[in-house]
Structure 1
Amino acid sequence: MIKKIGIGLVVLIAMYVVLAMLGPSNYKVERSIKIASAVENVYNQTSIYANWAVWSPFKKADPEAKYELGDDNQKIGGSLSWSGNLSGKGSMTTIKVTPNEKFLYKLEFVEPWYMAMTSSGGFIYEEQEDSVLVTWFNEGDLGFMSRPMVLFRSLEDQIGPQFEQGLVAIKEICENMKPTLVVSEETVESKSILYVSESSSLMSSEIGAKIGAAYGEIMSLVGIAQLEMVGAPMSITRKFSLAEMMVEFDAAIVVDEIPEGLEISGRIEKGDTYAGKALKTVHVGPSTNLKATYDGLIAYIKDNGYEINGNSWEEYIDDPTKVPSEEVRTNIYFPVK
């Protein structure tokens, strides 16, 4: 019996070695798309790792993975690392940068052992008359022991569709960027709110679902207690960390008055919003473009001598289930001094 098992193992090892000899020793996968936007927009969207939180196809594959940024400055040495149950452990490190022409990175998978490999990839930008042709690629050598696996499912089949998804998302973001940002200074009054505290990875697609679930809990209490909702649903940002690629927020509903004897249970809490000077801008379009609007508003704050004086918040003016995504309005506020 032991002899038969030994012979079987030898045969399996021999078959694996033969398949390894037949398998490819290297690979290259690339996809391209034409984007009707300024090359600077496309370059910034793809060369700033923090922006990957909005469009990366990999976040859908492993939404619970944890991410960490290192020197995300569009220069050599910048990095993004991750650790997840499905995506394993690895990192991307910038190795070559030519603004608006080329952005290259080294990709390393270190865990689990059967995924361990090092490759290179990046984006190539070619300006055309009214658009940019952007190419996303990944290439590298295949270790001897990993070659049999790609005989049955090629890396082209694994990576190609993900690149296509990512490029389509980048195209949507860049083509819907607004050329100007209208900012107004306002004095806002404090409001009574019921809220639920939540957190999420910036690379997760579950933020909207978590906000929706929180609103459902709050509105159930509002209905039972016969309270009056007197403002747009809100989300107050308590912590936003690009280094940790995560956000903590309060999903809140504004009500006219909260009775002192109101019994509150579960995750719901009561409180009051900020009162004082704030800067406001209106984001029009899908949530995938929100980061660009935030970047613009933060730059406006710095350029005009303001200082951020507390937590920013959003007001959701339109119901995204009833209004086309390109017309959805979101008020963004920053308390300032």
Structure 2
Amino acid sequence: MLKIILIILGVIALAVIALVAFASTKPDSFIIQRSTTINAPPEKVYALIQDFHQWGQWSPFEKLDPDMTRTFGDPAAGLGGTYAWDGKKAGAGSMRIKEAEPGRRVAIALDFTKPFPASNTATFDLVPEGAGTKVTWAMTGKSPLMFKVMDTVMGMDKTLGRDFEKGLNDLRAAAEK
């Protein structure tokens, strides 16, 4: 019986080592990106993105934890705008708008503190398209080994990509009102 348990433990250990070895071959940075076209002018879409008070209308991450604590900085909109959150399901972190080009682009420094520390950049690029606006939401950052392992197991692009798609659909609904 002990021999069987040791064999099982050995197989599990080899599987973990193989997973970590494979994950370590992944790139040292990542990008997750989704786009949609919204039937509203860029200025209207921009207003919903550059003001953190508006994110409750469309951000899928705002809906993760209704009891999460939100702290809006002064300012909470435009260049230098800040926002922080802390929740059981949503983790904790903060955002700061580091680029704000009205009707064109918002870039955000995104710092997570829970469940694990990470610093990423989120961007929203707005391009006029006919009577509407093509919006591209992207997140980039470094991929430490733990992220590479999670990506190997969970498929982070697919997982977070679904959240981005939901957010863009809700952004469309808010902007097209």
Give TM-score scaled by structure 2 length: 0.85
Residues 57 and 174 in structure 2, CA contact (< 8 A), matched pair in contact too: no
How far apart in 2 are the matches of 1:152 and 1:11?
16
Q: Spell out the pairing of 1:202-217 with structure 2 (5 A cutoff).
A: none
Which one-letter code corresponds to 1:155 in the other structure? M
Residues 34 and 137 in structure 2, CA contact (< 8 A), matched pair in contact too: yes
Whether 1:138 aligns to 2:170 is no
Q: Spell out the pairing of 1:246-325 with structure 2 (5 A cutoff).
A: none
For residues 14-59 of structure 1, the C-alpha deviation after alignment (integer angstroms, 9 at most, x for no partner) is 4454133233422111111111112211100111110001211112
Choose the corresponding residue for 2:46, options 39, 43, 64: 43
Aligned residue number for residue 127 of structure 1: 128
Aligned residue number for residue 152 of structure 1: 153
Choose the corresponding residue for 1:72, options 76, 101, 105: 76
How far apart in 2 are the matches of 1:32 and 1:10?
41
How far apart in 2 are the matches of 1:162 and 1:13?
28
The unaligned stretches of length 5 or more in structure 2 are: none
Which one-letter code corresponds to 1:81 in the other structure? A
Task: Using the TM superposition, give the Cα deviation of residue 61 of structure 1 relative to its aligned residue in structure 2, in angstroms.
Answer: 2.0
Aligned residue number for residue 114 of structure 2: 111
* Matched-pair identity in %: 26
For residues 244-290 of structure 1, the C-alpha deviation after alignment (integer angstroms, 9 at most, x for no partner) is xxxxxxxxxxxxxxxxxxxxxxxxxxxxxxxxxxxxxxxxxxxxxxx
Distance 1:17 1:162, change over 3 A: closer
Distance 1:175 1:141, change over 3 A: same
How far apart in 2 are the matches of 1:45 and 1:18?
43
How far apart in 2 are the matches of 1:173 and 1:111?
29
Distance 1:145 1:163, change over 3 A: closer
Residues 23 and 148 in structure 1, CA contact (< 8 A), matched pair in contact too: no
The unaligned stretches of length 5 or more in structure 1 are: 177-337
Task: Using the TM superposition, give the Cα deviation of residue 129 of structure 1 relative to its aligned residue in structure 2, in angstroms.
Answer: 2.6
Which one-letter code corresponds to 1:31 in the other structure? R
Aligned residue number for residue 174 of structure 2: 173
Please give the root-mean-square deviation of Cα atoms over the aligned residues, in Å: 2.2
Runs (4 or more) in structure 1 with deviation over 6 Å come to none
Distance 1:19 1:169, change over 3 A: same
Q: Spell out the pairing of 1:172-211 with structure 2 (5 A cutoff).
A: 172-176=173-177
Distance 1:86 1:41, change over 3 A: same
Residues 27 and 155 in structure 1, CA contact (< 8 A), matched pair in contact too: no
Residues 19 and 147 in structure 1, CA contact (< 8 A), matched pair in contact too: no
Aligned residue number for residue 35 of structure 2: 32
Residues 125 and 132 in structure 1, CA contact (< 8 A), matched pair in contact too: yes
Q: Rg larger in 1 or in 2?
A: 1
